[in-house]
Amino acid sequence: MRPSTGSPGALQSVIADQLDLSGLEGETLLVVACSGGTDSVALAHAVGVRRSLVIAHIDHGLREASSRREECRCVDRLGEILSVPVLRRTVPPGEIAGRAGEAGRSLEEVARDERYRLLLDILGQIAEERGVNPVLLTAHHRQDQLETFVMRAFSGRSPLGALGIPRERWLSGPRGERLPRFRVLRPLLECPRRDLVAYVRHQKLPCVHDPTNDDLHHLRNRVRLRALPLLEELFSPSDLSLRVSSFLGELDLLREGLRALIPHDAWGDFGTDRWSLDTGVFHALPRAARELVLRDAVYRLASGDRVSFRPFQRLVAGEGPVESAGLVASFRKGRLEIRQAVVRPVSIGYLWVVDTELRLRLVCEGVSAIRIGEEPAARGGWHLGPVVPPVVVRPRRRGDRVLHRGKKREVARLLEAPEVSSLIRGCAPVVEDREGVLALLGRGDPLCIRDGVRYTRDTHARPPGFITLGVAYEEAENYAERE
């Protein structure tokens, strides 16, 4: 039987019990992601009255300036009440909406990705400054679990994948970044939202209402405001969420049991950038076991945490090849192989892949002729990001465009600016990631960078999600004489 969280003391005790069950030591530094809304305010206070913590606040830049200021004041006030620090990251207004439109993704999805990227940045700052690995707490509760289940179950998600919100996960940066992984816990998953609302009222805590939670353009809001009330007419709200929570727990047990039955040699062999398994061993497994093995390989090799397994379902049936999520999978020479689709640096062409750091020497032999090679000297460098790997340095192509100052602009036009020399105009390479052109490499600073991307001199520590580039231009003697 689940413990009641109906009183303030009970909620604090239940959260403390959940943290104990997670194996946290008493001195572990906790960071609570707080938006200023009821749920995260209740979590931060219920944790903060019993142990020290840091509040992490992300201003997504999605609302009116007055609403955003009110949200910041609310979070700051909560920090004062608990006598704990508040660390904040701010997204420029309109940036997330513009990025969603350019990429053809939902505003909710892009905002979520940016939120976790910035939370990772805060965790990295704390780890560097305090010399400890903090644990992040988020305020997902029982109704969030129900909404997530409905969305995923009716979108065709496989029961062998996650149909609900896991109690914990690991948060890490893009593949190739030498960053620590941070643990994320959700201690409120068994708590109904009404108890969180009652807690905030009883404690007279500051909180704000986010009007985007009422916007029916977002799928989660349509599920919460339209679909769930229909289900709750048939089942009581508490019974419904409890049944879904119980069902998800049983699914977890089934998956764990199936994983335990898979032979050790059937999990395949991992290298630094690939995985492989004998096709005979793979096809001898039951279909559900084949899917679990593939999921394990894909999620361990793919970059980021938003990876769709759906394209790789073809491999379960013995079909291929498949190319998705920065991976290439195929059956070849008696083995099923999945490898990261990253090209190694070559200078014929030219194409150089940037893992985390690359220093180049560019020798211009004419208005558009260039030789490129690695530059061992660490000079003239800067950090650029955030990036979406893989990142490459390549020649400029006709039709290259970059999102710059709110518009998609032709790179060739940007190079026509009078302050750009003919040498740089002809030779400036392009830095590109999975989302398109990141920047143009100039003699010193970047000539232009994509909206939402920043750069800083490499005299500072490289921020999470950034790459380090160093560029040294040279002119071949005969070219300098002609000019």
Domain ranges of the chain: 8-247, 263-340, 352-482
Q: The tokens 């892009």 sit on which residue?
A: 110
Across the range 214-223, mean pLDDT stands at 83
Query: Is residue 15 pLDDT above 70, yes or no?
Result: yes
pLDDT band at 462 (very low <50, low <70, confident <90, very high): confident
For 174, counting Cβ atoms within 10 Å of its Cβ (0-12 exposed, 13-18 middle, 19+ buried), the class is: buried
Write a three-state SS string for 388-407. CCCEEEECCCCCCEEEECCE
DSSP code at position 420:
S
Query: Is residue 112 pLDDT above 60, yes or no?
Result: yes
Across the range 119-136, mean pLDDT stands at 91
Residues composing the chain:
483
- Identity at 282, one-letter amino acid code: F
Supply the CATH classification number for the domain 8-247.
Answer: 3.40.50.620
Query: Is residue 460 pLDDT above 80, yes or no?
Result: no
pLDDT band at 369 (very low <50, low <70, confident <90, very high): very low
pTM above 0.85, yes or no: no
Across the range 405-413, mean pLDDT stands at 84
Query: Is residue 54 pLDDT above 90, yes or no?
Result: yes
DSSP code at position 430:
E
Q: What does the alpha-carbon distance between residue 22 and residue 108 come to, in Å, rounded to a whole number?
A: 29
pLDDT band at 458 (very low <50, low <70, confident <90, very high): low
Across the range 72-99, mean pLDDT stands at 91
CA distances, 42 to each of 86, 196, 207, 287, 479 (Å): 16, 6, 9, 44, 67
In the chain, pLDDT over 90 holds for what percent of residues? Answer: 29
> Binding site annotation covers 330?
no
> Average pLDDT, whole number, for the chain?
82
Q: What does the alpha-carbon distance between residue 172 and residue 154 come to, in Å, rounded to a whole number?
A: 29
Same fold, 8-247 and 263-340: no
Q: How many CB atoms lie within 10 A of CB 304?
A: 17
Comparing C-alpha atoms, which of 333, 334, 317, 315 is closest to residue 325? 315
Kindly report, residue by residue over 333-346, the tens digit of the pLDDT: 999 999 876 544 44
> Binding site annotation covers 161?
no
Across the range 129-137, mean pLDDT stands at 92
> Binding site annotation covers 40?
yes
339, two tokens = 């490898």
> Binding site annotation covers 39?
yes
Query: Is residue 427 pLDDT above 90, yes or no?
Result: no
Kindly report, residue by residue over 194-212, the tens digit of the pLDDT: 999 999 999 999 999 888 7
Query: Is residue 480 pLDDT above 50, yes or no?
Result: no
Q: Give residue 423's pLDDT.
A: 64
Comparing C-alpha atoms, which of 32, 29, 305 is closest to residue 169? 305
- Kindly report which listed range (54-68, 94-108, 160-174, 422-436) carries the lowest average pLDDT score: 94-108
Name which residue leads in pLDDT, 375 or 258: 258
Number of H helices and E strands in the chain, helices first, is 16, 23
> Binding site annotation covers 334?
no
pLDDT band at 173 (very low <50, low <70, confident <90, very high): low
Q: Give residue 202's pLDDT.
A: 94
Domain 263-340: give its CATH architecture: 2-Layer Sandwich (3.30)
- For the beta sheet containing 327-332, the strands, ordered from the edge strand earlier in sequence to the opposite edge, are 269-270, 274-278, 335-340, 327-332, 322-324
Name which residue leads in pLDDT, 281 or 380: 281
pLDDT band at 35 (very low <50, low <70, confident <90, very high): very high
In the chain, pLDDT over 70 holds for what percent of residues? Answer: 84
pLDDT band at 30 (very low <50, low <70, confident <90, very high): very high
- Kindly report which listed range (241-250, 337-346, 447-456) carries the lowest average pLDDT score: 337-346
> Binding site annotation covers 36?
yes
Name which residue leads in pLDDT, 428 or 321: 321
